[in-house]
Every structure is written in structure tokens, then in C-alpha cells.
Amino acid sequence: MMETQLVRRHLIDTDGLSLEEMESLFCRAAYWRDHPEAWFQTGKGRFAANWFLEPSTRTRVSFEVAEKRLGMETIPLDGETSSTMKGESFYDTLRTLAAVGVEVVVVRHAGIGTLAEMAWENPGVSLVNAGEGNGGHPTQALLDLFTMREQFGTLKGLTVSIIGDIRHSRVARSNYWALKTFGARVILAGPESMRDPSLEEYAPYLPVDEAIRQADVVMMLRVQLERHRETLFSSPDVYLHAYGLTPERVEAMRSHAVILHPAPVNRGVEIASELVEHKRSKIFEQMSNGVWIRMAVLERALEGGRG
């Protein structure tokens, strides 16, 4: 079959990307941002399927805009639940999409490790991980790093404090691997119950105030308080003052330091509402950058799809 002769360009996680590959993606992301006249051409007549087995408005919309800006045709599969797919394997669905002419499949799902396994089985499409369980979320990490790089010119030597629910965060993990590759320094912080021992081998765990004081980049994570509230926190306010970003903590930040958040934001939980559009906040800039990064990732996936 034709597709077995091709080099597929999957994006499974940041630990599979070299520094050079990430630099090349950043370079192309900047290109797409700066050259609207080049949009709507590269992917003309080529198909991407967006297979979202978990709901994710933000990430899905960002990918869809990126695909369309490349000129691609998009096939939504986000309404499909596991019951729709009843009796059919993940692999068979991917092979089916390949058979009808889809070249790139963007996948969001709850499992861990499935995408790596699928890539190995060579289903005839390029796979792009759009968030996999608690495992990884590489395009989020790439857009975060791109945003930092635009801000500071370089990633090497930067101190990035990731604060909040580390344990349940695929964002923390994918960021950690990518930042490590660039020689940035990562600090973790957050409540005891949300620590992740597997990452602490590499990054120190500091008190929140200390982590904020040392950081060039303060990355606040979304807290799914409904999971923790009853046992640990009596109210959003209690969490905010213990571990969230408050105006007082912003005062303690280094003068050039910036605020990141993968969004959606819980206003008044991990970040005070008035800080979301604070002058230090890059939150909506991250979202804009997400489109450029995803255009770069999709372009790379398409390069593997033909000749």
C-alpha cells in the first residue's frame, strides 16, 4: 500500500522531539503568524480529521482554525462517543480514515499510551496528540515555549515555575520535557496532595511564594477544584490564598516576569479574576500562538503524508 512507503510525521509528545525539531516548529509558527498572504494554500484539498473523544472546545477550535488557515478540509469526529465506535478498534477507525483519504488525525482522548502504540502500528495517517489523559499535551507545551521565546528571546537558562495541580496535569509533563531539552530550569509548586513524585526527580518542589519570587515565567495550572474541594479546600477563596496567583503575589514577581496559564481559567481559584488580563499576563497571547504552532505541527504532519 502507498502509505507504508511514506514517512509519517506523528506528534505524540515533546519527549520525542529534539531541540532542532522544536526550533524548526517555532520558526514555522512565526512564519505563519507573519505571512497571512501564505495562508489557505499549503494544505489545499487535503483532509484532517479531528477526533475528540473528550470535549475540548478551546483546543478543537484552535486546531480547526489552524487546519482551515492551511487550506485543509476538516472532518469533525467530536460527537462520537465510545458507544458510536462500539465493537471497532482504535486502529480500524484510523485505517478507515486513511482509506477515505484523510492524511492527518488530531486525537484527544482519555487513555494513555494509545497514540504511541498506534503510531507504531502504522495506520496510514499522521497522528497529532491533542491531549491524552494525564499523559501529554505537546501542542500546548510548544505554544507555551513559543510564547516564552517570543518574550525573552531564548529559553536556555529561563526559570519556569509550574504551580498547581501537577499530578493531574498533562500540560506540566509535556512542558517539563520540552523545557528540559532547551536547558530551562523548572520549579514545581502546589498543594501536597497534587504533587507528582515522578517529576520531582528532575525539578525541585518549592513553596508557592518562593517559586513565584524566583520565576521568569509563572505558569499557573487549572485546578479541577470539584475533585478536591470536599476533602481539602473549603472554598475557592481558601485555595486562591494558599496556592493561587493573587495581586500580592504578582507584586513579588521579578520585574520582567510574565504569567502563563493553559486555560480555561478558573477565575478566582488558581488566579484572581483581575489578573487574567493583567499587563504581565500572556494568557490570550498563548491562545493566539496556539494557532501558529498548530499550523506548524500540521504542516509537518502533511510533509509526512505525501511523497
Q: Quick check: 97 binds its own copies (CB under 8 A)? A: yes
d(Cα 60, Cα 100) in Å, to the nearest integer? 22
d(Cα 21, Cα 27) in Å, to the nearest integer? 10
According to DSSP, the β-strands at 217-220 and 185-189 are unpaired
**Cβ at position 267, least distance to its own copies in Å:** 7
Q: Quick check: 34 binds its own copies (CB under 8 A)? A: no
Q: Which of residues 102-131 bind its own copies (CB under 8 A)?
A: 102
**Cβ at position 95, least distance to its own copies in Å:** 6
**Cβ at position 15, least distance to its own copies in Å:** 27
Q: Quick check: 31 binds its own copies (CB under 8 A)? A: no
The response to whether 170 counts as a known ligand-binding position is yes
Binding-site member from 4, 7, 35, 79 for its own copies (CB under 8 A):
79
Q: Quick check: 23 binds its own copies (CB under 8 A)? A: no
The response to whether 222 counts as a known ligand-binding position is yes
Q: Quick check: 213 binds its own copies (CB under 8 A)? A: no
Q: Quick check: 14 binds its own copies (CB under 8 A)? A: no
The response to whether 140 counts as a known ligand-binding position is yes
Q: Which stretch binds its own copies (CB under 8 A): 65-73, 137-145, 204-212, 243-251?
A: 65-73
Number of neighbouring beta carbons within 10 Å of residue 13: 21
- With respect to its own copies, which residue has the nearer C-beta, 80 or 209? 80
The response to whether 300 counts as a known ligand-binding position is no
Q: Quick check: 153 binds its own copies (CB under 8 A)? A: no
DSSP code per residue over 21-83: HHHHHHHHHHHHHH-GGGTTTTTTT-EEEEEESS--HHHHHHHHHHHHHTT-EEEE-TT--TT
d(Cα 299, Cα 9) in Å, to the nearest integer? 9
b (16+ CB within 10 A) / e for 164-190: bbbbbbbbbbbbbbbbebbebbbbbbb
x/- letters, 259..278, toward its own copies (CB under 8 A): ----xxxxx-x------x--
- With respect to its own copies, which residue has the nearer C-beta, 101 or 183? 101
C-alpha cell at 165: 495541580
Q: Quick check: 306 binds its own copies (CB under 8 A)? A: no
Name every residue whose Cβ is closer than 8 Å to that of residue 37 and which is 6 or more positions away in sequence. none
b (16+ CB within 10 A) / e for 195-229: bbeebeeebebbebeebbbbbbbbbbbbbebeebb
**Cβ at position 86, least distance to its own copies in Å:** 8
d(Cα 157, Cα 226) in Å, to the nearest integer? 36
C-alpha cell at 19: 531541540
**Cβ at position 146, least distance to its own copies in Å:** 14
Q: Quick check: 2 binds its own copies (CB under 8 A)? A: no
Using CB under 8 A as the criterion, which residues of the chain lie in contact with its own copies when the complex forms? Answer: 39-40, 45, 47, 49, 55, 57-58, 61-62, 64-65, 68-69, 73, 75-80, 84-85, 87-89, 92-93, 95-102, 263-267, 269, 276, 284-285, 287-288, 290-291
Question: Which positions make up the binding site for L-aspartate?
Answer: 86, 170, 222
